[in-house]
Amino acid sequence: MLRALPIADGLVRTAALFAAIYLGAASSTAAALDQDRVLLRANLNETYDSNVLGISNEIPPSLAEQLLGGRRQGAWILGYGAGLRLDLPVSRQRFQLDLSATRYNYSQYSELNYTGYVGRGIWNWRMGNDWWGQLNAGAVQTRQTYSSGVAVNVPALVKNYDALADAHYALTPRWEVYGSLSGTQARYSAVQLQSGNTNVTDESIGASYRSPLGNSTGVRVTFEQGSWPNLPPAATISNAYTQYTAAMTLDWQLTGRSQLSGDIGFTARTGTAAGSGNSVEGPSGRVKYTYSLSGKSQLQASLYQTFGPLNDPTASYVKTTGLDFGYTYQATAKIVLQANVTRQNIDYLGESLIPGMVQRSDQYAVLGLSARYQATRTLSFSTGAQYQNRNSNIPLAAYDVYTVYLNASIEF
């Protein structure tokens, strides 16, 4: 277990460690070639989390100290791992595989130590000149703070699985039709949190037209079903939902510097929703606007509203409304700087699993800064900081947290 360190001492130690990695990698003659199809990867990162247990800032300091049991509220998290990446074209097909595992050790909070993993396989397929599509499946294990926690938000170990199959058919050089089937599952490791396990399936069909200028416009209809398999049915709580979404899709190059993309539609949910009548409906989708200030800098803005589940043990169906801003600056050929700001509301639509709780609404504000340095084609470093604030209309749900991190990754 790592020794508890002040931030300054921790950064000095981390900087020395990453400098050693850089010098060792720079002296190595091993480098991946363009024609390499299989790459091995190693990564090392260290993160400081100022509020590991997600303790509400409404809790009196004396009570917070009791909850911490003499430990600091913040902690360093050391991660180290390895992975493999495969990219294999075969005739007109393309197969991709990405596997990695990372061990995370928390200073002071050794009970939270865990091994995270990511696995994903993709088959981009094509048949003749008119049919193409993708098969995609993945699994991720991580420790995350669930959004609906109050008072104390201990990060929970959760596994997420997803799969997608889609197919496109070119009716003409400008018109295409498509369909897709996808599914996701979330599974909590702790028995007491498994009421938050979710299953979601989506079936979509659509069509799009691409103009001579390259702009794409289309329509899509989606049928979604979701359930909480470990949540027993009750008179006031629904353990399943069904919703339909009709949307217009677009990808337009407005000018030489600006682009508008996304989907704009309407979602309707049927079935019983506790505290919200027999249906939930409203505008839905996401619109993204991108503007290039220069050859080196770019601005992005994204507005969205979605309906669906949270992978949370104390909440089910919610409406999420948000506005994101991002700025990217290519400082040099090897250095990229980024900044992002997010404002987001999550309305729980009366579906809280805590009896007697008022219809909950949370407001999030997030500010992030990051930098990436591509030292060589196979060696990269990244660093960043993020501040997140949450406010709510229910007691003990507000909290603040900031994180800083430094990461190194090499492929060979």
Report how far residue 121's alpha carbon sits from residue 360's, in angstroms, rounded to the nearest whole number. Answer: 38
| HSE (side-chain half, CA atoms, 13 Å) at 252 | 12
Place of tokens 């917070």: 64
Q: Are 176 and 81 in contact, with CB atoms under 8 Å apart?
A: no
The structure tokens listed for 274 are: 């506790």
Which pLDDT score is estimated for 280? 79
Whole-structure pTM value:
0.84
CA 354 to chain centre: 26
The structure tokens listed for 21 are: 């990695």
Report how far residue 310's alpha carbon sits from residue 144's, in angstroms, rounded to the nearest whole number. Answer: 13
- Which parts of 169-281 fold into alpha helices (H)? none
Burial 165-185 (b: 16+ CB within 10 A, else e): ebbbeeeeeeebebebebbbb
What is the secondary structure of 83-149 as a DSSP string?
A: EEEEEEEETTEEEEEEEEEEEEEESS-GGG-EEEEEEEEEEEEEETTTEEEEEEEEEEEEEE--TT-
The structure tokens listed for 235 are: 């008179």
Report how far residue 46's alpha carbon sits from residue 304's, in angstroms, rounded to the nearest whole number. Answer: 32
User: CB count, 10 Å around CB of 111?
Assistant: 8
Report how far residue 78's alpha carbon sits from residue 46's, in angstroms, rounded to the nearest whole number. Answer: 5
Which of 229, 311, 224 minimizes the C-alpha distance to 269?
224
Which pLDDT score is estimated for 196? 84
The DSSP symbol for 195 reads G
User: CB count, 10 Å around CB of 30?
Assistant: 8
Report how far residue 400's alpha carbon sits from residue 147's, in angstroms, rounded to the nearest whole number. Answer: 13
The structure tokens listed for 137 are: 């499946």
What is the secondary structure of 308-368 as a DSSP string?
A: EEEEETTEEEEEEEEEEEEEEEE-SSSEEEEEEEEEEEEE-TT--SSTTPPPPEEEEEEEE
**pLDDT below 70 — which residues of the chain?**
1-36, 232-238, 271-279, 311, 313-316, 350-358
Domains of the chain with CATH codes: 80-364 (2.40.160)
User: From its phi and psi, is residue 285 left (phi > 0), alpha (psi between -120 and 50) or beta?
Assistant: left
Which pLDDT score is estimated for 333? 94
Which pLDDT score is estimated for 232? 66
Burial (CB count <10 Å: 0-12, 13-18, 19+), residue 19:
exposed
Q: Are 310 and 347 in contact, with CB atoms under 8 Å apart?
A: no
Report how far residue 378's alpha carbon sits from residue 39's, in angstroms, rounded to the nearest whole number. Answer: 10
In DSSP terms, 135 is beta-bridged to: 123, 165
